[in-house]
């Protein structure tokens, strides 16, 4: 009995969906957001979300005149163009159902790899936490845990660490010898590239799709050319109109930028990171990520805020993340000395995938067009649209997802480089 087109496509879509669920590692380890698709159309596929507020502690019995304002910070989320698998089949390709099975597996692997890569590249490009280490054992992961712990980075939604293939190879002997690992492995863990759970505060995975960070051009330093007085804000005025302001970035003026590049990780002499809750000085230099260079003005993540900087208010100082103000003549150094393939780590909710829903059902009203949509367990929609041509006896099948990836809190994610 001949296979029906409906059965072939339904089976293909179902198998692709299941394979994609099995292959997709990173999307299940981040936050997934969505918004009404009509609203997205009216805002050019971008919208803004609020972030957690910080509150000051005011000491004293009589608080007359000491009431503070409330700062509501925001960041943008943007949906990108669809990510597609689009192919054409002749009827002669449909005689063997195994042919479509193999195509389903190939499509799912490609789409899953693309999604994992998008997330990995976002963290590699924007994550602000950073270190290089010659250690190939438990200490390599524990350093990330120490950084996040001393900065009191919220990990209530879990935390993940991804070892690239070569670092995993170097660390395999040491990690495998620890009872922590063999006791929690399973067939499902192997299938999902999982190495172990709760390893120095992280669930650990292998990541062949890890991103890269370029090595610094050289060891040259520069200095800050003016005092930095960035403060937290949710909006600013442009042309007399209040518009949303991305809370993540600040600007540091350099005296020279010749040997600096976008992607460099920098420190500033004497400027340490703070624990975000109790404002304890960690004793470790704060790391910033360069995301733009415009003349001598260098834009960095995160925005540097010091409680002792000029003109800061009590409510603004509650957002302090550095131990002291950045002043003119402070020395700026690069710490991405080795660079290379990264091992990324993050608090799971610090990265967000934005699902882009489309009214694909409307296309089903067009002659010859058939469509389906399913939502994966991670919250991202998978679509299929297909039709056929009587003149060529060919069928066209388009399988796609649509989403955006945003590093919504680059101060809670970053990268480690194994540099033996």
116/121 Cα distance (integer angstroms): 9
User: Is residue 21 within 8 Å of residue 377, measured between CB atoms?
Assistant: yes
One CATH from 2.115.10.20, 3.90.1300.10, 1.10.10.10, 2.40.30.240 for 222-335: 2.40.30.240
Find, among 411, 414, 317, the residue nearest to 54 by Cα: 317
Contact between residue 238 and residue 245 where contact means Cβ atoms under 8 Å apart: no
Q: Which of 119, 129, 121 is nearest to 336 (CA)?
A: 129
Q: Cα 109–183–26 angle (5° rounding)? A: 25
pLDDT in tens, the chain (420 residues): 334 455 677 788 888 888 887 777 788 899 999 888 888 888 888 999 999 888 888 899 999 998 888 899 999 999 999 999 998 888 787 777 778 778 888 888 888 889 999 999 999 999 999 999 998 888 899 999 999 999 999 999 999 999 999 998 888 666 555 544 444 444 444 345 567 788 889 998 988 889 999 999 999 999 999 999 999 998 888 888 888 999 999 999 999 999 999 999 999 999 999 999 999 999 999 999 999 999 999 999 999 999 999 999 999 999 999 999 999 999 999 999 999 999 999 999 999 999 988 888 787 776 667 888 888 888 888 888 888 888 888 888 888 999 999 999 999 999 999 998
pTM of the model: 0.89
Sequence ranges of the domains in the chain: 1-212+338-420, 222-335
Tokens of 119: 């997330």
Residue-level pLDDT at 35: 83
Q: Is 333 helix (H, G, I), strand (E, B) or coil?
A: strand
Q: In 3-state terms, what secondary structure has residue 134?
A: coil
Q: Answer whether 266's CB lies under 8 Å from 334's CB.
A: yes
Distance CA(406)–CA(31), nearest Å, equals 10
d(CA 196, CA 188): 12
Task: Give CA–CA dist 389/85, Å, rounded.
Answer: 19
- Give CA torsion, residues 112, 27, 263, 356, to 10 deg: 80
Contact predicate 115/318, CB 8 Å: no
pLDDT at residue 178, as a whole number? 52
Instruction: Tell me what pLDDT residue 200 has.
Output: 87
**Residue 298 three-state SS:** strand
**Regarding beta strands 46-50 and 370-375, do their DSSP bridges make them parallel or antiparallel, or are they unpaired?**
unpaired
Token code pair at residue 115: 């999604």
Closest alpha carbon to 265 in 404, 147, 114: 147
**CA-CA distance, 193 to 205, in Å (whole number)?**
5
Name the residue among 276, 273, 252 with its Cα closest to residue 264: 252
């Amino acid at each position: 009995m001949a296979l029906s087109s409906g059965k072939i496509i339904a089976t293909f879509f179902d198998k692709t969906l299941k394979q994609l669920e099995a292959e997709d590692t990173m999307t299940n380890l981040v936050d997934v957001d969505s918004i009404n698709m009509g609203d997205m159309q009216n805002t050019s596929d971008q919208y803004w979300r609020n972030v957690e507020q910080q509150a000051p502690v005011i000491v004293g019995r009589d608080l007359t005149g000491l009431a503070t304002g409330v700062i509501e910070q925001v960041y943008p989320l943007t949906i990108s163009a669809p990510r597609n698998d689009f192919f054409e089949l002749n009827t002669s390709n449909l005689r063997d159902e195994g042919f479509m099975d193999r195509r389903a597996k190939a499509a799912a692997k490609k789409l899953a790899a693309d999604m994992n890569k998008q997330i990995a590249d976002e963290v590699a490009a924007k994550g602000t936490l950073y270190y290089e280490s010659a250690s190939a054992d438990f200490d390599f992961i524990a350093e990330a845990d120490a950084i996040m712990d001393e900065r009191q980075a919220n990990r209530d939604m879990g935390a993940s660490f991804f070892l690239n293939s070569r670092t995993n190879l170097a660390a395999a002997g040491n990690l495998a010898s620890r009872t922590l690992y063999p006791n929690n492995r399973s067939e499902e863990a192997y299938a999902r590239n999982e190495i172990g759970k709760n390893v120095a505060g992280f669930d650990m995975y292998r990541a062949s799709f890890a991103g890269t960070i370029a090595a610094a051009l050289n060891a040259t330093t520069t200095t800050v050319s003016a005092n930095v007085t960035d403060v937290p804000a949710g909006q600013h005025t442009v042309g007399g109109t209040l518009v949303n302001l991305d809370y993540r970035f600040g600007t540091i003026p350099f005296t020279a930028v010749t040997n600096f590049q976008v992607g460099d990780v920098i420190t500033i002499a004497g400027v340490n990171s703070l624990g975000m809750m109790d404002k304890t000085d960690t004793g470790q230099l704060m790391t910033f990520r360069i995301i733009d260079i415009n003349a001598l003005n260098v834009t960095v993540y995160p925005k540097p805020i010091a409680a002792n900087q000029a003109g800061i208010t009590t409510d603004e100082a509650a957002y302090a993340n550095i131990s002291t103000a950045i002043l003119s003549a402070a020395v700026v150094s690069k710490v991405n000395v080795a660079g290379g393939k990264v091992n990324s780590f993050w608090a799971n909710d610090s990265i967000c995938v934005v699902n882009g829903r489309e009214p694909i059902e409307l296309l089903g009203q067009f002659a010859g067009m058939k469509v389906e949509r399913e939502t994966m367990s991670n919250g991202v929609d998978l679509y299929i649209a297909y039709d056929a041509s009587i003149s060529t006896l060919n069928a066209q099948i388009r399988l796609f997802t649509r989403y955006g990836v945003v590093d919504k809190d680059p101060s809670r994610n970053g990268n480690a480089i194994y540099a033996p």
